[in-house]
Amino acid sequence: MTEDKKIIEETTTEIRNDTLGEEIESEQNAIESEEEKQSFVEILYGTAASPNSTFAKLAKRPRVGYSIITVLAIYLFTWFLNLSDLRNTELGNVVMEEFGGISTEVINYMFILMGAYGLIFVILTWFLVSGSLNLWAALLGGKGNAKALFACYGFAMLPSLFSEVLQTIINLFRLPGVINWIIVVLSFIWIIYLQMVSVRTSQGLTTGISLFIALTPILVFAILMIVSIFLMFAMFFPIYQSFFVM
């Protein structure tokens, strides 16, 4: 009987310890979850000021909804700015002169359709690129955290908003065009950096591999352009020989 009591007491003690350990672990997870929780404004500010810590928290607690709102807001704001630029250049009058008989309402509908198609293209490109890079990162030893990468890539588009605003200001004050190019280049570098941080924090890879993954879409596009140019040259080379080579 004594041995049975000891066994029962030891079993009870183990169960209590396991239960206590689970409670402590759950409390720690709850505390960490609260610490990682970020508001929308905090994420936007952190993306610009401290992307490493902000994206590290996003990797543990992806805020896909906030990311979608950010991308939509950036696109709509950029579209309205570009639309105002097109109106300032009197593109509508040019279209009416070329095609004649087109009313202003039809032209407005055309602009709206262009904006809708552009929005669909941006969303699909964002989805396909982040999904492809997640697969590519997984093949290179990453965690395969597709949700976190998708969310971080949305916030990585934030520099394009600053770029559009600055370019609009430059155009209003009629400053030299070279400043526009400088802003575009700096914005591009900033976006690539944020995308690299997105890959590194969400996939747990090194900086070098993350940068390579972030540059993959550009490298693929460059290769396709080179191949296309080579094919065009190969197609027209016989014509060149026939007409220009004696």
- Kindly list the distances between the CA atom of residue 129 and the CA atoms of 164, 214, 231, 246, in Å, as whole numbers in the listed order: 23, 10, 26, 49
Mean pLDDT of the chain: 80
Q: Is the pLDDT of residue 102 over 60?
A: no
What pLDDT, on a 0 to 100 scale, did the predictor assign at position 128? 93
Residue with tokens 């709102």: 69
Q: Is 243 exposed, middle or buried (0-12, 13-18, 19+ CB in 10 A)?
A: exposed
**pLDDT value at position 109?**
75
Q: Span 5-27, mean pLDDT?
A: 53
In this predicted structure, what is the pLDDT of residue 79? 86
- For the chain, the farthest-separated pair of C-alpha atoms sits apart, in whole angstroms, at 113
Coil, helix or strand at residue 220: helix
19: helix, coil or strand?
helix
Query: Within 10 Å of residue 47's Cβ, how many Cβ atoms?
Result: 23
Give dist(CA 61, CA 71) in Å, integer: 18
Alpha-carbon distance of 157 to 190, in angstroms, equals 9
Alpha-carbon gap, residue 188 to 68, rounded angstroms: 21
Who has greater pLDDT, 29 or 236?
A: 236
Mean of the pLDDT values across residues 147-175? 90
pLDDT digit string, tens, across residues 181-239: 999 999 999 999 999 999 999 999 999 999 999 999 999 989 999 998 888 877 776 66
111 with 86: CB under 8 angstroms? yes
DSSP state of 174: T
* CB-based contact 158:194 (threshold 8 Å): yes
- Per-residue model confidence as pLDDT tens digits over 41-53: 999 999 999 999 9
